[in-house]
Amino acid sequence: MEIDRGGVTAAPGGGRAAMRTLFVATALASVLATGYVTAQQPAAPATAAAAAAVPAARFAGTWVGTQAWAISNPPPGSSQDQAVTLEIQVEDGKITGMMKPFLGGEDGATIVDATIVGEELHATAVVGRPRPQVAGRRGGGAGWKDPIRIAFVFKNNGVNMEGTADVQMGEVPWMKFTYDLGKKRARY
C-alpha cells in the first residue's frame, strides 16, 4: 500500500530510508558547494614576513653590545649586562659565526646551524667549538659542554640587532638571555 503525502508517494517502512537518503544528499551538496566556493576564491597572498625574507648578508659582520639575563632571578654575583662580540660570516649561502664570551668564558658559542625566517636569523649553537662525533672515543667520553644547546634568534634593524638566547642542558631549559647589539664600524 502506498501513501500519498502532498505529492510525495512513499512505500510503507521506506520513510526512514528516504529521509536518510535526503539527509546524505543535502549534506553532500553542502560540502561540495563549500569546496567549490573556496576553490573559486583567489588564494590569500603570502604573509609579508615569509615573502620578504631578508638576505643573509644583512646579518654578516661583527656586532658588539650587551648580553643581559632574561630570567627573574639571575645567579648571585652575576653582572646584569655583559659585553659580547658576535661575528657572523656568510660563505656559499651557509651562515656561521661565534659569540664571545659565552657562559663567562672565552670559549664562546659557535653557530652550527642557521636559517633566515622572515626578518629573523634563527641559529643553533654549541658552547666552544663543535667536537666531532667519534664512536668509541678514548679519554673519558663527552665533556660537560656537549649537552648544552643554544637557540639564538636575532632581528636586524639596520645597524642595530636585538636578540634572545634560550639555553638548554640536554632537554631541560636552563637559562635565557637578551641581546642589544650594534654593527661594529671600521675606523677611518
Determine which of 20-24, 95-99, 129-133 has the lowest per-residue pLDDT on average.
20-24
Rounded Cα distance, 110 and 62, in Å: 14
DSSP helix/strand/coil, 30: helix
Q: Give the pLDDT confidence of 113-159 residue by residue, as tens digits.
A: 999 999 999 999 999 888 766 555 555 556 667 789 999 999 999 89
Percent of the chain with pLDDT over 90: 45
Rounded Cα distance, 120 and 25, in Å: 50
Residue 173 above 50 pLDDT? yes
Residue 188 above 90 pLDDT? no
Question: Is the backbone peptide bond immediately before 101 cis, with ω within 30 degrees of 0?
Answer: yes
Smallest Cα–Cα separation from 87: which of 121, 119, 63?
Answer: 63
Percent of the chain with pLDDT over 70: 64
Residue 181 above 80 pLDDT? yes
Three cell numbers, residue 84: 659580547
Residue 51 above 70 pLDDT? no
**What pLDDT score does 73 carry?**
84
**What pLDDT score does 19 carry?**
47
Between 121 and 4, whose confidence is greater?
121
**What pLDDT score does 134 carry?**
53
Q: Give the pLDDT confidence of 74-95 residue by residue, as tens digits.
A: 888 777 789 999 999 999 989 9
Helix (H) / strand (E) element for 96: namely: strand 94-100
Task: Using CA atoms of 30, 33, 37, 43 in order, give the dihedral in degrees to the nearest 10.
Answer: 80
Three cell numbers, residue 37: 566556493
Rounded Cα distance, 109 and 22, in Å: 67
Q: Name beta bridge partners: 107.
A: none
Q: How is residue 16 annotated by DSSP? A: H
